[in-house]
Structure 1
């Protein structure tokens, strides 16, 4: 079993919020394809990273999680690129973890 996590930004690089319909679209697409999704939307997570030694970038994100028996790597790579385009990101983080249900 695989847990796929998608980290989506709340704001573009100019500080403008993305409309709710963008997140609803992702939710609907993934629910249709995988039969369910968990979305962490109410309390945004905070991402920090060093752009340069003297500049730290901060981002507020929401996280979507999908569980799947198989990992369709090629489909996910294509979808990640599509989401990066939609959310105007140079790099959009998507990760997969092998999990065991208890």
Structure 2
């Protein structure tokens, strides 16, 4: 079983929040395709990374996750690219972990 997590930013690079409709759209797309979704939206996670040796950038994010037996890498690559455009990101993180259900 694969656990796929999508890290979505709450704000664009200018600090303007993305419309709530965009998050609902992602939720609906993933629920339709995978039959369910878990969202972590109550208290945004904080992301930090070094853009250069002297510059640190931060982002407030929400995490959406789904589980899938089969990982369709092509579909996920295309969906990640589409979400990157919709959320105005150079690189949007979609990560996958193999999980065992007990």
Instruction: Give the TM-score band, short-chain normalised.
Output: over 0.9
> Which residue in the other structure is 1:24 paired with?
24
Tell me, which stretches of 5 or more residues in structure 2 are unaligned? none
Report the equivalent of 1:60.
60
Unaligned residue ranges in structure 1 (runs of 5+): none
Deviations 1:15-74 (A, max 9, x none): 000011000000000000000000000010000000111110010000000000100000
Instruction: Find the aligned partners of 1:30 and 1:23 in 2 and give their Cα distance.
Output: 11
The reply on whether 1:50 has 2:50 as its aligned counterpart is yes
Aligned length: 102
Q: d(CA) in 2 for partners of 1:39 and 1:31? A: 11
Distance 2:11 2:101 in 1: 34
Query: TM-score, normalised on structure 2?
Result: 0.99
TM-score normalised by structure 1 residue count: 0.99
* RMSD (Å), alpha carbons: 0.4
1:94 aligns with 2:94: yes
